[in-house]
């Protein structure tokens, strides 16, 4: 069991969370910080990863429509294509030094999937993998997306679990650039209201089991990275 | 200046390939060690790959978007090789000095740091490599390794030793100090004089020298140039031996599974001679003479690969049967090309069975640094005078070349008399056990 | 000469020995009426009667305890432990009594006893029917431990074990029972205990092993030959006492040694063998002595993929030997 920081940021803008990720990344990289997992809920935002190579091909709505829906747009340095974040989605940014986790990028992806699959199982949702499409799937529909950046074995970005997001916002994009698959949420799968407050503790517990973490619950201020 | 090749890095045990995302450096850009060089995409991960070395980007080998297996060269970096450049320049000087001072040590002196630093990086050797390198007087640092990561393997040492068998310490140079600190004595061809060049006429065939031929030539010249050969011969009556062998050879073959030749009897007689005259089992060592403890007898033999001298070790601890088995084993393995270097080294005296080629008198060349070589010529029936009567006896000539620095005619004569007496003492009923 | 399976070779040897020496008795769980769970003793009770081929209670301590008493009193018991995994209830009798009686009585008494036990995995036997236990006993002075790797050796070693005056553990690999076949002479012959056998000559790498792994190593060696790597395979046949001369000879010859066993890595025979080599042949070594063995997990897993992962296979041997050859 290794100690790790868990920071629950609550609602935070994508930009602000991104800045925080980078500062935490430097801290983890230098050894000043333990492995740190940030959990956050974003206002509506589309992010485009490196696999898109700068193309907005998979963004279906035009500028006007997007702004009318109140959705931001960011080009980011993670792997993968376009995705959506918004209220009702549990976003996790595990900033880990993979040197202590087997130095294996794919294994890391599988561990993220495993944590979420196990958490979903607790709620009675039998989710699984659909190689080669990284992510967590229920049938043909994706319930959690994954996209990661690694530099010198330090990870950034992570996963987004659809607890109860506005699924209509996914209509504006081809999620991850995969055309023939849909998106779903825990709320839709369970047919009842599900809150982030209800889901978060179980996701934390499974991350701890899979990565063998003993979490210290801390605030951003505790990290001393200002 | 040196070019270092950067390969697609290992991104995890389960990751077999990666897609070049974006080059973060252009050709011509300087890059520092560990600075991010490019992005690689694999699955849903975008990984920044640090440069393994500092330098200048010389060439980008794989374009963005292309997927290549782990280990594929992806770019070249020109390294500001201050170290490499100096080494190359400095390396010349000690080499020149070596040529000027003939008896230079083979192992590079520690002070010539620049010359030896080229091998420092892989200067770790297995116990087997160290032992063999020492035995053969080879500097393992000078061998190009074929093992993992360029490691020098045991087989690499054996290969190099085989290519220049003259480097076996005790047999290295005629005038070399015989015993252990062989590494200090260089196999220096500088003592050799140039032969008069051959006259090549039209239609003559010029054959390049095989490596074995070269070694033989070098050794023969060295022996003849550095060892004052003296020679003598004795006639030996081996009628009893011939009768003994005739009587028991079939039974012997049935029991031991090998043919009984005259050679083991000769080896046995030579062992007796060496025991009686230890000075013959000795080596010249410039200001001293080394009396060898073991009696290891080489037997000169012609093979497809040329003249070789496999050695019967501790010949003094074997009876005729043991010697027959040992020689048979060496012959068998030399025909199969399966002699080891141990079989070919460590001799302290040589026996040449020249009778096999039908001669009755030869003048053998000493296998330096040994002090002598003895031949067994053809056994022929001749009329000889026995007790005032003429009788037909089986006779053989035994010829000895000896190093006149080590022994004089008196000892050499005594040696050959012991050999003669021992051979003549064998009768039809002598036990070979 | 007949071609027999490993199992048949053991059965026919038992039959031949029972005929030869009336002091020999066989007993164990289900060895009589049922002929043993693997049918090794099938037909023997019919031929030799209930007094010589005896069905015992399910009580290993009692089986071995009474066998020791019978042996000291002049019989030559060849008890069977149904699975080597079940030998542990009898370990007190084996180690504290059988192994020591000759020593304790200053040579007055001896225990001519052969304990046969099937061992090893790869047969979906899971946790309690797959263990390799030879290292526990190889540790004990006073015991001899043989692990034959071919039908021919199975016969010669069993005959040797039965005529030995001291206790011998005879371990038979379950996966070898029906998969290994070979020519076995009809007449009785002895393979001396403590004598290894060079099953294959080679130049580049020596594999030292025993039991089922011998045939796996030979398979790997054949594969590697196609790649130009020449592998020597030394079959120890006996793991106590070890044939030290043969071990050192092959180590000196190739300078590269791979020790194989299915038994767990830590504290296995591989450690002992590599210690012998580094003590006596250091200056011939051209690479680290490598070991390939079962992993240090508590028991053979039930799940087929995990069982496969546990087992030392010809593929794993080939890859490891290649790594060593290229070192």
pLDDT at B159: 87
Instruction: Name chain B contacts of C282, Cβ cutoff 8 Å.
Output: 127
Within chain C, residue ranges assigned H as helices are 6-20, 44-48, 60-72, 91-92, 101-104, 134-138, 151-163, 174-179, 212-226, 244-254, 269-280, 304-310, 314-326
**pLDDT of B104 over the 70 cut:** no
Mean pLDDT of A56-60: 85
In 10 A of CB A113, how many CB atoms?
21
**Whole-angstrom distance, CA of residue B313 vs CA of residue A221:** 82
Six-digit token pair at C327?
Answer: 């070192």
Q: Which of B44, B79, B114 is the last residue of a domain?
A: B79
Instruction: Name chain A contacts of B12, Cβ cutoff 8 Å.
Output: 102-108
A192 interface with B at CB cutoff 8 Å: no
**Whole-angstrom distance, CA of residue A131 vs CA of residue C272:** 46
Helix (H) or strand (E) holding B119: helix B113-120
Of the pLDDT bands very low, low, confident and very high (cuts 50, 70, 90), residue B191 is very low
A167 interface with B at CB cutoff 8 Å: no
Helix (H) or strand (E) holding A210: helix A196-211
Of the pLDDT bands very low, low, confident and very high (cuts 50, 70, 90), residue B194 is low
Give the distance from CA B421 to its chain's centroid: 36
Six-digit token pair at C175?
Answer: 């996966």
Cα dihedral B317→B319→B325→B329 (10° resolution): 30
Q: Identify which of B127, B147, B148 has the shortest CB distance to residue C285.
A: B127
Of the pLDDT bands very low, low, confident and very high (cuts 50, 70, 90), residue B4 is confident
Q: Do B127 and C287 touch (CB under 8 A)?
A: no
Both ends of chain C: CA-CA distance in Å? Answer: 43
Of the pLDDT bands very low, low, confident and very high (cuts 50, 70, 90), residue B127 is very high
Lowest mean pLDDT among B73-87, B236-250, C28-42, C107-121: B73-87
Is residue B70 a contact partner of residue B2, using CB atoms and an 8 Å limit?
no
**Whole-angstrom distance, CA of residue A92 vs CA of residue A22:** 14
pLDDT at B82: 45
Q: Identify which of B21, B34, B42 has the shortest CB distance to residue A105.
A: B42
Round the CA-based radius of gyration of chain B to a whole number and report it: 31
pLDDT at C83: 96
Is residue B260 a contact partner of residue B269, using CB atoms and an 8 Å limit?
no
**Whole-angstrom distance, CA of residue A147 vs CA of residue B44:** 5
Is residue C173 a contact partner of residue C119, using CB atoms and an 8 Å limit?
yes
**pLDDT of B183 over the 80 cut:** no
Q: What percent of chain B has pLDDT over 70?
A: 82
**pLDDT of C141 over the 50 cut:** yes
Catalytic residue, chosen from A116, A145, A176, A203, is A176
Six-digit token pair at C97?
Answer: 């009594």
Is residue B349 a contact partner of residue B373, using CB atoms and an 8 Å limit?
yes
Average pLDDT, chain B: 80
**pLDDT of A225 over the 80 cut:** no
What CATH number corresponds to the domain at position B16?
A: 2.40.50.100
CATH fold of the domain at A2-223: BirA Bifunctional Protein; domain 2 (3.30.930)
Q: What is the DSSP string of C168-182?
A: EEEEEEHHHHHH-EE
* C203: closest chain B residue by CA: B155
**Whole-angstrom distance, CA of residue C72 vs CA of residue C113:** 9
Mean pLDDT of B329-337: 81
Q: Do C286 and B131 touch (CB under 8 A)?
A: no
pLDDT at C219: 96
User: Residues A210-221: pLDDT tens digits?
Assistant: 999 999 999 999
Q: Which of residues 142-161 of A touch B (CB under 8 A)?
A: 146-152
Is residue B270 a contact partner of residue B326, using CB atoms and an 8 Å limit?
no
Is residue C217 a contact partner of residue C45, using CB atoms and an 8 Å limit?
no
pLDDT at B292: 92
Give the distance from CA B288 to its chain's centroid: 25
Which is nearest to B279 in space by CA: B349, B377, B359, B337? B349
Q: How wide is the angle at C-alpha B80 spanned by C-alphas B76 and B84, nearest 5°?
A: 100
Q: Do C285 and B148 touch (CB under 8 A)?
A: no
Higher pLDDT, B114 or B21: B21
Q: Do B127 and C327 touch (CB under 8 A)?
A: no
Q: Identify which of C282, C285, C327 has the shortest CB distance to residue B148.
A: C327
pLDDT at B9: 87
A-B CB pairs within 8 A amount to 80
Q: Beta partners for B403?
A: B229
Is residue C103 a contact partner of residue C50, using CB atoms and an 8 Å limit?
no
**CA distance to partner chain A, nearest, from residue B59 (Å):** 23
Q: Identify which of C282, C286, C326 has the shortest CB distance to residue B154.
A: C286
Mean pLDDT of A86-112: 94
Strands A154-162 and C238-240: unpaired
Q: What is the DSSP string of C287-325?
A: S--EEEEE-SSSS--SSHHHHHHHS--HHHHHHHHHHHH
pLDDT at B86: 37
Give the mutation candidate from C205, C250, C277, C286 for the B interface (greatest B CB count, under 10 A). C286
Higher pLDDT, A36 or A82: A36
Q: Do B47 and A146 touch (CB under 8 A)?
A: no
Q: Is B174 domain-assigned?
A: no
Q: Does residue A202 carry a catalytic annotation? A: no
Q: Do B15 and A105 touch (CB under 8 A)?
A: yes
pLDDT at B1: 66
Of the pLDDT bands very low, low, confident and very high (cuts 50, 70, 90), residue C212 is very high
Average pLDDT, chain C: 96
| For the ranges B20-29, B164-173, C144-153, the one whose mean pLDDT is highest | C144-153
Q: Do B154 and C326 touch (CB under 8 A)?
A: no
**pLDDT of B258 over the 60 cut:** yes
Domain boundaries, chain C: 2-184, 197-326
**pLDDT of B38 over the 80 cut:** yes
Predicted ipTM? 0.78
Mean pLDDT of A186-203: 94
pLDDT at B177: 40
Q: Identify which of C283, C326, C327 has the shortest CB distance to residue B127.
A: C283
Cα separations (Å) of C302 from A65, B172, C123, C307? 57, 64, 10, 6
pTM, 2 dp: 0.47
Q: Identify which of B128, B148, B151 has the shortest CB distance to residue C255.
A: B128
Residues whose CB falls within 8 Å of the CB of residue B53, separated by 6 or more in sequence, listed in order: B4, B6, B33, B77, B79
pLDDT at C81: 97
Q: Which of residues 107-166 of B touch C (CB under 8 A)?
A: 126-131, 147-148, 151, 153-155
Q: Which of B79, B100, B122 is the last residue of a domain?
A: B79
Give the mutation candidate from B33, B35, B44, B65 for the A interface (greatest A CB count, under 10 A). B44
Q: What percent of chain C has pLDDT over 90?
A: 95
pLDDT at B170: 41
**Whole-angstrom distance, CA of residue A85 vs CA of residue B296:** 87
Strands B289-291 and B282-284: antiparallel
Domain C197-326, classified CATH 3.40.50.300, yes or no: no
pLDDT at A34: 94
Q: How many residues does chain A have?
A: 226
* C252: closest chain B residue by CA: B128
pLDDT at B180: 41
A107 interface with B at CB cutoff 8 Å: yes
Of the pLDDT bands very low, low, confident and very high (cuts 50, 70, 90), residue B122 is low
pLDDT at B305: 67
Higher pLDDT, B298 or A102: B298
Q: Which of B37, B63, B79 is the last residue of a domain?
A: B79
**pLDDT of B93 over the 50 cut:** no
**pLDDT of B192 over the 50 cut:** no
Domain that holds residue B398: 228-424
pLDDT at B83: 41
Q: How many domains does chain B have?
A: 2
pLDDT at B303: 72
Of the pLDDT bands very low, low, confident and very high (cuts 50, 70, 90), residue A180 is low
Is residue B309 a contact partner of residue B366, using CB atoms and an 8 Å limit?
no
CATH fold of the domain at C2-184: Rossmann fold (3.40.50)
* C289: closest chain B residue by CA: B126
pLDDT at B143: 86
Please, do chains B and C touch (3+ CB pairs < 8 Å)? Answer: yes
pLDDT at C162: 97
User: Residues A122-173: pLDDT tens digits?
Assistant: 999 999 998 888 999 998 899 999 999 999 899 999 999 999 999 988 888 8
Residues whose CB falls within 8 Å of the CB of residue C159, separated by 6 or more in sequence, listed in order: C13, C16, C17, C188, C189, C190, C191
Q: Do B126 and C255 touch (CB under 8 A)?
A: yes
């Amino acid at each position: 069991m290794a100690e790790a920081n868990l920071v629950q940021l609550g609602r935070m803008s994508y930009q602000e969370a991104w800045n925080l990720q980078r500062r935490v990344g430097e801290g983890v990289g230098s050894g000043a910080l333990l492995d740190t997992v940030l959990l956050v809920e974003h206002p509506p935002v589309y992010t485009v990863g490196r696999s898109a190579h700068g193309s907005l091909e998979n963004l279906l709505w035009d500028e006007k429509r997007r702004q009318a829906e109140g959705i931001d747009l960011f080009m980011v340095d993670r792997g993968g294509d376009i995705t959506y974040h918004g209220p009702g989605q549990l976003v996790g940014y595990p900033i880990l030094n993979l040197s202590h986790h087997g130095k294996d990028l794919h294994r890391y992806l599988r561990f993220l999937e495993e944590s979420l699959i196990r958490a979903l199982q607790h709620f009675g949702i039998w989710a699984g993998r659909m190689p080669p499409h990284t992510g967590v799937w229920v049938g043909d529909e994706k319930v959690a997306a994954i996209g990661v950046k690694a530099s010198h074995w330090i990870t950034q970005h992570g996963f987004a679990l659809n607890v109860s997001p506005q699924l209509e916002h996914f209509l504006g994009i081809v999620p991850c650039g995969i055309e023939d698959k849909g998106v779903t949420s825990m709320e839709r799968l369970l047919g009842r209201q599900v809150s982030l407050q209800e889901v978060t503790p179980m996701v934390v517990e499974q991350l701890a089991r899979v990565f063998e973490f003993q979490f210290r619950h801390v605030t951003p201020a505790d990290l001393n990275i200002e | 200046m040196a070019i270092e090749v950067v390969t697609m890095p290992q991104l995890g045990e389960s990751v077999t390939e990666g897609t070049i995302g974006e080059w973060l450096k252009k050709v011509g850009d300087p890059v520092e060690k560990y600075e991010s060089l490019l992005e690689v995409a694999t699955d849903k991960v975008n990984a920044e790959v640090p440069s393994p070395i500092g330098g200048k980007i010389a060439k980008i080998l794989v374009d963005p978007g292309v997927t290549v297996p782990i280990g594929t060269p992806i770019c070249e970096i020109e390294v500001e090789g201050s170290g490499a450049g100096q080494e190359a320049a400095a390396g010349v000087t000690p080499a020149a000095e070596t040529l000027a001072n003939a008896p230079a040590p083979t192992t590079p002196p520690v002070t010539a740091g620049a010359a030896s630093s080229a091998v420092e990086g892989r200067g770790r050797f297995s116990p087997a490599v160290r032992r063999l390198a020492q035995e053969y007087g080879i500097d393992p640092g000078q061998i190009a390794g074929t093992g993992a990561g360029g490691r020098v393997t045991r087989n690499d040492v054996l290969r190099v030793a085989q290519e220049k068998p003259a480097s076996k310490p005790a047999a290295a140079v005629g005038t070399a100090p015989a015993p252990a600190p062989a590494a200090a004595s260089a196999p220096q061809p500088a003592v050799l004089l140039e032969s008069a060049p051959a006259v090549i006429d039209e239609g003559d065939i010029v054959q390049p020298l095989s490596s074995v031929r070269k070694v033989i030539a070098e050794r023969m010249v060295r022996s003849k140039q550095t060892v004052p050969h003296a020679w003598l011969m004795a006639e030996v009556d081996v009628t009893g031996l011939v009768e003994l062998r005739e009587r028991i050879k079939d039974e012997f073959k049935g029991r031991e599974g090998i043919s009984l030749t005259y050679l083991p009897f000769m080896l046995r007689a030579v062992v007796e001679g060496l025991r009686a005259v230890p000075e013959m089992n000795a080596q010249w060592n410039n200001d001293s003479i080394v009396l060898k403890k073991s009696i290891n007898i080489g037997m000169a033999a012609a093979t497809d690969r040329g003249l070789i001298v496999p050695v019967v070790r501790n010949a003094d601890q074997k009876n005729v049967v043991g010697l027959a088995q040992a020689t048979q084993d060496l012959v068998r393995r030399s025909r199969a090309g399966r002699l080891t270097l141990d079989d070919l080294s460590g001799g302290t005296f040589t026996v040449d069975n020249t009778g096999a080629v039908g001669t009755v008198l030869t003048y053998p060349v000493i296998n330096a640094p040994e002090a002598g070589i003895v031949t067994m010529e053809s056994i022929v029936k001749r009329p000889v005078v026995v007790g005032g009567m003429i009788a037909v006896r089986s006779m053989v000539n035994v010829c000895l070349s000896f190093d006149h620095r080590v022994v004089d005619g008196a000892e050499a004569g005594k040696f050959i008399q012991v050999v003669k007496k021992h051979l003549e003492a064998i009768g039809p009923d002598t036990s070979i056990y | 000469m007949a071609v027999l399976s490993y199992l048949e070779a053991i059965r026919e040897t038992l039959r031949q020995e029972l005929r030869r020496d009336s002091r020999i008795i066989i007993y164990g769980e289900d060895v009589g009426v049922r002929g043993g769970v693997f049918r090794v003793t099938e037909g023997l009770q019919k031929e030799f009667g209930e007094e010589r081929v005896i069905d015992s209670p399910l009580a290993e301590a009692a089986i071995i305890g009474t066998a020791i008493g019978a042996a000291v009193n002049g019989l030559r018991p060849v008890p069977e432990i149904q699975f080597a995994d079940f030998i542990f209830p009898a370990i007190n009798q084996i180690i504290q009594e059988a192994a020591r009686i000759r020593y304790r009585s200053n040579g007055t008494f001896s225990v001519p006893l052969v304990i046969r036990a099937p061992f090893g995995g790869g047969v979906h036997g899971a946790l309690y029917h797959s263990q390799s236990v030879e290292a526990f006993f190889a540790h004990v002075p006073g015991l001899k431990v043989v692990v034959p790797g071919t039908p021919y050796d199975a016969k010669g070693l069993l005959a040797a074990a039965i005529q030995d005056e001291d206790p011998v553990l005879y371990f038979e690999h379950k996966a070898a029972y029906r998969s290994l076949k070979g020519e076995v002479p009809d007449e009785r012959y002895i393979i001396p205990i403590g004598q290894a056998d060079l099953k294959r000559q080679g130049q580049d790498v020596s594999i030292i092993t025993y039991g089922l792994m011998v045939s796996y190593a030979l398979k790997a060696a054949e594969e590697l030959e196609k790649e130009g790597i020449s592998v020597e395979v030394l079959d120890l046949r006996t793991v106590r006492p070890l044939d030290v001369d043969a071990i050192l000879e092959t180590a000196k010859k190739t300078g590269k040694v791979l020790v194989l066993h299915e038994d767990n890595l830590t504290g296995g025979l591989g450690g002992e063998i590599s210690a012998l080599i580094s003590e006596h042949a250091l200056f011939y070594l051209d690479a680290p002595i490598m070991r390939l063995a079962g992993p240090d997990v508590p028991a053979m897993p039930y799940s087929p993929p995990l069982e496969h992962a546990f087992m030392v296979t010809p593929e794993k041997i080939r890859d490891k030997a290649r790594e060593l050859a290229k070192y």
